[in-house]
Structure 1
Amino acid sequence: MVTGVTSLGLVRDELFATMEQAEQSLEHFIAERQNGSLLQQAVEAMHQVRGTLNLIELTGAELLAQELLDQATDIPAGAGEERDVQLAALSNALHVLRRYLENLDVHRQEMPELLLPAINDLRQAGGQPPLPESYFFSVRLDQSRQAPVPGLPEGVDAEALGRRFRQAYQQGLLGFLRGQKVPSALRTMERALGGIERLYADQPRGRLGWIGAAAIEAQLDGQLLARKSRKQLFSRVDRELKLLLGNAAYEAPRSLQKELLYLVALADSQGPRSRELREVFGMTALPFTDQLLEQEYQRLSGPGQSVMRSLSSAIFEELNSVKDTIDLIERGTAPAESFGNLHALLGKLSKTLVMVGLNSPGNALQVQLPLVATWSAGSPVDANELLKLADAVLYVEGMVAGLDSGKRSGVRQPVEPGHEAESFANHQLAEARIVVLDEAQAGLALAKRAITAYLESNGEKPHLANVPVSLQAVRGGLWFLDQERAAALVGACGAYIQQQMLEASAMPSEQMLETLADALTSLEYYLEGGAGMRRGFQADVLDLAANSVRALGLPVAA
C-alpha cells in the first residue's frame, strides 16, 4: 500500500535538488531581470517539481507547485518594480513548499491546510481570488435537520423582526471586526442568527441561521483566531442576511455553508449547536487545531533544516562547554574565571533559545542566572544548586535536539522552574516512543523482505528463520506503545509464519500467502501513519489487517 507520503522517500533527493535549482534560478533572475534564461530555468524546474508531486499524489503540495508555475510563467523577462510583489510571493512560496516537504519527509503526515496561506499569497499577487479555508475540507451538505425547531408565536411581523435580528448581527459584527469586546460581540451575533433560525424554522432560509449560529459558537468556544478570512466570512453572512430577508425561496450558497461547517469541525466545540451539527453532518474532529496550524505555518516560514542543523550544532557546542564547566566546578578544579564565563555563556544561550522560539528552555536557563552569579572560586558551590543547573541543561539539550531533526512537538508547554528534570524525562519518554515505532517499522520491513525471498526461492525455509523472532520484537514494541490490538495482529502473523510456513511440510497456497501479505501491508501502513499516536488518526486500517488475519484461520479479538 503506497501513499504520497511513502512515495516521497523514493524521489526525495532528486525532488529537493530540483527545488533548490528553481530557488537559485529565481533568486538570480530577481537580481538580473534582463536575463530571461534564468527565469526559464526556474520555470522548467518548477514544471518538473509539479510533475513529480502529481506522480506521487501529494495533492496540497501539487496545488502550490501549480500556482507557482502559473505565476512564474506570467512574469516576463525584464520585469520591473511592478512585479516585485509577485516575485516575492514566488520566492516565499518556494521556500514554504520545500519546508513543507522536509517536514513531511520527517513526520509522514500530510497537512495541506498549511499551504493555503502561501497559495493565497500567490493568487493575490496574481490578481486571483483566494481559496477558502475549507478548500481541503470535505462534508456532505445534503443533510437535513432532524429535530424540529420551535418557531415564534403567530402574529409576529416576521420581516420587521428579521430586520431587527440583522441589525443586532451587524452591531456584533462591527465589534468583532474592530476587535472590541470580541466575546460579547460574538454572543450577540450568535443570538441574532439563532433568532433568524427560529423565525424561519419552517423555511429553507432558516438553514443559514442554524449553521451560522453554530459556526459563531465554535469561533467563541474554540477560541479560533480572528483571521482576515473569518472576518470576511462573517461579513459575507451579513450580506446574505440582506438577501434572505423578503425572499422566502432563499437558500444559503453551498460554499458558504461549507465554510461555516469547517469552523465547527475545526473548533471541536462542545456547545449544543456544534454538537448537533457534528452529529447531523457526520463530522469528526480534525487532526489539528487552529493554534497548531498557525504554529506550524510559522515554522514553515522560518529557516530551513540546513540552517537549523547548523544552529543546533552551534548550541550543542556551547552546551558541552557548560557541561564541562559544571563538571570542573563539581570536582573543585574550576579556574577562577570559569564562574564568570559560565554566567555569560548561560545568558547568551538563554537569549539565543528565545530568539529561535524555544522560550521554555530559554527561560529555564534564565532563572539559573541569579544563582550562578553568586558562585565564586572562593566558596564551595552547593551540590543541590549544581544539580538544578544540570537538570536545566539536560532539559535544554533535549529540546534543542528537535531543531536538528525537525521534529514537530505541537504546542510547547512552559516548564515551571525546578521541574526541568521531570520535563526532560517526559521528553525522553516521547523520544523513546518514536524510536520504538521506527524499530517496529524496520522489523515489519525485514519480515516482508524475508517472505519475498522465501517465495522467490520456492519455499526455502532458512529465509524465514528470523522472521518470527523479529515479529515478536515488533509485537513487544507495540505493547510498549499501548497498541495492544496491533500487537496482537502482529503476533498472529508471526504465529502463522512459524506454524504454517516453517513447521509445516508444504508451502501455503498462493491465496493464503496473498492474505498474509495483505495483513502485513496493512500493519505497515498503520505504523507509517504513526500507529494512532496522532490525534484524528483512523484505526480503520487495523480492521483490514484483522480481516486478513481471520482469513488465515487465526482468532482475532474484537
Structure 2
Amino acid sequence: MTTGATSLSMVRDELFSTMEQTEILLEQFIAERNNGSYLQQAVESLQQIRGTLNMIGLAGAELLAQEIFQQANDIPAGAGEERNAQLSALSTSLFVLRRYLESVDLHRQEFPELLLPTINELRQSNAQPPLPESFLFSVRLDSPRPERGTAAANAVIPAAQAKRLRHMYQVGLLGFLRGDDPQSSLKLMARAMSRLEQMFAAGDRGRLCWVAAAALESCVDGKLLPRQSRKQLFARVDRELKQLFSNPQYDAPRLMLKELIYLVALADSKGPLAREVRTAFGLNALPFTDHLLEDAYRGLAGPGQAVVRSLTSAINDELVNVKDYLDLIERENAPADCLSKLHAVVGKLSKTLGMVGLSSAGNALQVQLPTIAAWLDGAAVEPEALLKLADTVLHVEGMVATFKQGPTRAPLVSGAQDEQQSFAMNQLREARIVVADEAFNGLTMTKRAITAYLESGGDKLHLANLPTVLHSVQGGLLFIEQDRAAGLVQRCSEYIQQHMLEAPQMPSEQMLDTLADALTSLEYYLEGGAILRNEMRTSVLDLAEESIKALGMQV
C-alpha cells in the first residue's frame, strides 16, 4: 500500500465531489461557449484538484491534473469549433482521472504509467510533443558496459557488412511499422542488431547497438505490444545507425538509451543480452507488465478489444450450438425441438452479425432460414441442403475469426457465388500457409543444425540431413510458386554441401553468421506471411540474396 493511495481515503469524498462539479461546469461551457464564467469556475476547480493530488503525493494523477489545468487555462471564452478536439480531450481526461482515482481508492495501488496515454492524447490535442514511455522510469545511464573479447577498440569495421546488416534491420523495421506480423519483424531486427552489436562490441560507439539489441530481444521474448511510440523509437535507432557508422566518436542520445533500457526492464526477458543489460544497469523487475498496463488502461478509457473478444466468443458459442444441432440431424437422432431451436439460433445469429457489421455473414445465414423453416413444416432433410448449411456455418465461423483479428484482413464478400468463391479462396490460403509453415520449420531446423555444427567445432554429423531438409523446403516453395525463394534456398543448400560437408576445413564464424543471415531472411519471408503480401517480396528476398552473394555464391 503506497502513501498516496492511503492518503486518498482521507480526502476522497471532497475530491470526487470537486471533480464531478468540474465535469458539469466543463459540459456547461461546451454547451454555452460564450459564458466564460463556467470555464473560469472549472479552471479554479482544476487548480484545487491539482493541489489536493500534490498534497497527498499521487504523482501520476497530479501530472494529468496539471496537464488538464494548463489546457483548460489555454481555452478562451467563446471558443469555436477549432477547439472541439481540445475540449473533447479535456472531458475524456477528466473521466479517466476520476476512474483512475476510483481504482487507486479501491485497490490501494498506484500505477501512474496508466495515465501516460491520456496525458499524451491531451498534449497532442494542443500540438505538444508527447512524453516518452520512460518518463516515470529512473536509471543511471553512465553504468559501464561489460568487457567482452580482446578486439581492439579501433578495429576496422567492414563497411559492406555493416551496410548489409543495416539493410536487414530496415527490412524488419518496415514490416514492424506496417504492422505486418510485428513479432516476426522484431525477430529480424533483433538478428541484425545483435550482429551489429558483435561488430562494434570493442568500441564505445557500440553502446547503442548493445542496448538496442537487448531491447529488441526483450520485445520478442516479452511479446511487447507494437505501440506507435515504439515504432518511432526503433525508426530513430535506424537513423542513428547511419551516424554511428560514419563517426568513430559517436555517442548515443541519452534519452534514446533510457527508452531502450525501459523496454528491457518492462519485458523482464531471460535472453543473454537482456540479462547483461539488466545486470549492468541494476534493473529490478517492474511491478507490472506491458499487457497488464494495456488491460488496465482499457478498463479506464472504456471498451476496446475486450468487447470485441467477448462478442466474438458469444457468437462462436452459438455457432457451436448450431453445429451440434446439425450433427444430431445428420445422425437422425435429433430431439423433437431440435429444428425449432436451430431455426431460432440461426435467426438470432443472422441479426446479431448484421448489427456488428458482419452483414455478409448475417445474410449468408438468413438465406438458409427458409430451408430450415421448410424442415420444420415437415419437408424431408436432403443431405445436399444439410451439407450446404454446414458449409455456410463454417464460412461464417471464418468471417467471425477475421472480424476478431481486425480490419487488416481481406474484405468480406456477399452473395451466394462470391460466398463459395471466398470459401474456396480461404481453403487455398490455408493450404498455402501449411506449406509455408513446413518450409519455415525446415529453415529453423537448418539454423539449429548449423549452430550445433559450430558449437561442436565442425562435427559434420549435425549437417547430415540438411541437403534432404532443404530439398524438401525448395520443393514446397516451388509448389506454391515461390520460384525465387526456392532458388535462394538451393544456393544455401549448395553452400552447405560444398563449403561445409565436402570441404576439409570449417568455414569462418563470420561466413557461418552470413549464412545464418540469409536463412533468417528467408525465415522472415515465410513467417511474416510475405507469400500472401506482394509488397514485401522484393525487399526481403533482396536481403537474402545480398547475404548469399556475400558467401561468394552466384545468384
Q: TM-score range by the shorter chain?
A: 0.5 to 0.7
Q: Distance in 2 between matches of 1:369 and 1:156?
A: 68
Indicate the residue corresponding to 1:116 in structure 2. 116
Indicate the residue corresponding to 1:451 in structure 2. none
Please give the secondary structure, in 2, of the residue aligned with 1:77. coil
Q: Distance in 2 between matches of 1:55 and 1:153?
A: 52
The answer on whether the counterparts of 1:150 and 1:198 sit within 8 Å (CA) in structure 2 is no
- Which letter does structure 2 place at the counterpart of 1:260? L
Q: Summarize the Cα distance change of 1:150–1:171 in structure 2 as closer, same or farther, 3 Å threshold.
A: farther
Q: Summarize the Cα distance change of 1:38–1:225 in structure 2 as closer, same or farther, 3 Å threshold.
A: same
Q: Distance in 2 between matches of 1:213 and 1:182?
A: 16
The answer on whether the counterparts of 1:168 and 1:189 sit within 8 Å (CA) in structure 2 is yes
Indicate the residue corresponding to 2:51 in structure 1. 51
The answer on whether the counterparts of 1:193 and 1:213 sit within 8 Å (CA) in structure 2 is yes
Please give the secondary structure, in 2, of the residue aligned with 1:261. helix
Q: Summarize the Cα distance change of 1:186–1:151 in structure 2 as closer, same or farther, 3 Å threshold.
A: farther
Q: Distance in 2 between matches of 1:222 and 1:2?
A: 27
- Which letter does structure 2 place at the counterpart of 1:223? K
Displacement of 1:15 in angstroms is: 0.3
Structure 1 portions without partners, runs of 5+: 304-353, 380-558
For the aligned residue pairs, the C-alpha RMSD in angstroms reads 3.0
The answer on whether the counterparts of 2:152 and 2:202 sit within 8 Å (CA) in structure 1 is no
The answer on whether the counterparts of 2:153 and 2:202 sit within 8 Å (CA) in structure 1 is no
Encode CA deviations 1:407-453: one digit per residue, 9 max, x unaligned: xxxxxxxxxxxxxxxxxxxxxxxxxxxxxxxxxxxxxxxxxxxxxxx
The answer on whether the counterparts of 1:265 and 1:285 sit within 8 Å (CA) in structure 2 is yes
Q: Distance in 2 between matches of 1:43 and 1:6?
A: 27
The answer on whether the counterparts of 1:149 and 1:198 sit within 8 Å (CA) in structure 2 is no
Displacement of 1:263 in angstroms is: 0.8
Indicate the residue corresponding to 1:299 in structure 2. 299
Q: Distance in 1 between matches of 2:169 and 2:56?
A: 47
Q: Distance in 2 between matches of 1:59 and 1:154?
A: 46
Displacement of 1:228 in angstroms is: 0.4
Indicate the residue corresponding to 1:178 in structure 2. 178
- Which letter does structure 1 place at the counterpart of 2:107? H
Indicate the residue corresponding to 2:208 in structure 1. 208
Q: Summarize the Cα distance change of 1:356–1:11 in structure 2 as closer, same or farther, 3 Å threshold.
A: farther
Displacement of 1:147 in angstroms is: 3.8
Structure-to-structure mapping, 1:290-369, within 5 angstroms: 290-302=290-302
Q: Distance in 2 between matches of 1:42 and 1:63?
A: 17
Indicate the residue corresponding to 2:277 in structure 1. 277
Indicate the residue corresponding to 1:497 in structure 2. none
Displacement of 1:166 in angstroms is: 1.9
Indicate the residue corresponding to 1:310 in structure 2. none
Q: Summarize the Cα distance change of 1:183–1:249 in structure 2 as closer, same or farther, 3 Å threshold.
A: same
Displacement of 1:281 in angstroms is: 1.3
Indicate the residue corresponding to 2:139 in structure 1. 139
Indicate the residue corresponding to 2:39 in structure 1. 39
- Which letter does structure 2 place at the counterpart of 1:116? L
Q: Distance in 1 between matches of 2:96 and 2:212?
A: 33
Indicate the residue corresponding to 1:166 in structure 2. 166
Encode CA deviations 1:368-418: one digit per residue, 9 max, x unaligned: 98899x9xxxx9xxxxxxxxxxxxxxxxxxxxxxxxxxxxxxxxxxxxxxx
Structure-to-structure mapping, 1:159-558, within 5 angstroms: 159-302=159-302
**Greater fraction helix:** 2
TM-score (norm 2): 0.54
Q: Summarize the Cα distance change of 1:361–1:17 in structure 2 as closer, same or farther, 3 Å threshold.
A: farther
- Which letter does structure 2 place at the counterpart of 1:216? L
Q: Distance in 2 between matches of 1:364 and 1:165?
A: 45
Q: Distance in 2 between matches of 1:153 and 1:261?
A: 24
The answer on whether the counterparts of 2:182 and 2:226 sit within 8 Å (CA) in structure 1 is no
Indicate the residue corresponding to 2:74 in structure 1. 74
The answer on whether the counterparts of 1:151 and 1:198 sit within 8 Å (CA) in structure 2 is no
The answer on whether the counterparts of 1:141 and 1:257 sit within 8 Å (CA) in structure 2 is yes
Indicate the residue corresponding to 1:536 in structure 2. none
The answer on whether the counterparts of 1:165 and 1:192 sit within 8 Å (CA) in structure 2 is yes
Encode CA deviations 1:16-73: one digit per residue, 9 max, x unaligned: 0010111111111111111111111111111100000000010000000000001001
Displacement of 1:141 in angstroms is: 1.3
Q: Summarize the Cα distance change of 1:168–1:281 in structure 2 as closer, same or farther, 3 Å threshold.
A: same
The answer on whether the counterparts of 1:86 and 1:126 sit within 8 Å (CA) in structure 2 is yes
Indicate the residue corresponding to 1:538 in structure 2. none
Q: Distance in 1 between matches of 2:265 and 2:175?
A: 24
Indicate the residue corresponding to 2:505 in structure 1. none
Q: Distance in 2 between matches of 1:96 and 1:369?
A: 39
1:19 pairs with 2:13: no
The answer on whether the counterparts of 1:123 and 1:130 sit within 8 Å (CA) in structure 2 is yes
Displacement of 1:139 in angstroms is: 1.5
- Which letter does structure 2 place at the counterpart of 1:245? F
Q: Distance in 1 between matches of 2:173 and 2:18?
A: 47
Q: Distance in 1 between matches of 2:270 and 2:199?
A: 25
Structure 2 portions without partners, runs of 5+: 329-334, 336-555
The answer on whether the counterparts of 1:150 and 1:201 sit within 8 Å (CA) in structure 2 is no
- Which letter does structure 2 place at the counterpart of 1:175? G
The answer on whether the counterparts of 1:151 and 1:200 sit within 8 Å (CA) in structure 2 is no
Indicate the residue corresponding to 1:87 in structure 2. 87
Q: Summarize the Cα distance change of 1:266–1:155 in structure 2 as closer, same or farther, 3 Å threshold.
A: closer
The answer on whether the counterparts of 1:61 and 1:115 sit within 8 Å (CA) in structure 2 is yes
Please give the secondary structure, in 2, of the residue aligned with 1:113. helix
Q: Summarize the Cα distance change of 1:286–1:360 in structure 2 as closer, same or farther, 3 Å threshold.
A: farther
1:8 pairs with 2:25: no
Encode CA deviations 1:205-240: one digit per residue, 9 max, x unaligned: 100000000101111111111110000000010111
Displacement of 1:268 in angstroms is: 1.2
Q: Distance in 1 between matches of 2:169 and 2:17?
A: 53
Displacement of 1:101 in angstroms is: 0.1
Q: Distance in 1 between matches of 2:285 and 2:315?
A: 34
Q: Summarize the Cα distance change of 1:157–1:270 in structure 2 as closer, same or farther, 3 Å threshold.
A: closer
The answer on whether the counterparts of 2:157 and 2:199 sit within 8 Å (CA) in structure 1 is no
TM-score (norm 1): 0.54
The answer on whether the counterparts of 1:16 and 1:98 sit within 8 Å (CA) in structure 2 is yes
Q: Distance in 2 between matches of 1:279 and 1:238?
A: 26
Q: Distance in 2 between matches of 1:162 and 1:368?
A: 54
Displacement of 1:265 in angstroms is: 1.0
Q: Distance in 2 between matches of 1:192 and 1:200?
A: 12
Encode CA deviations 1:163-191: one digit per residue, 9 max, x unaligned: 33222211211111112243332222122
Displacement of 1:355 in angstroms is: 5.4
Q: Distance in 2 between matches of 1:154 and 1:56?
A: 54
The answer on whether the counterparts of 1:175 and 1:182 sit within 8 Å (CA) in structure 2 is yes
Q: Summarize the Cα distance change of 1:356–1:235 in structure 2 as closer, same or farther, 3 Å threshold.
A: closer
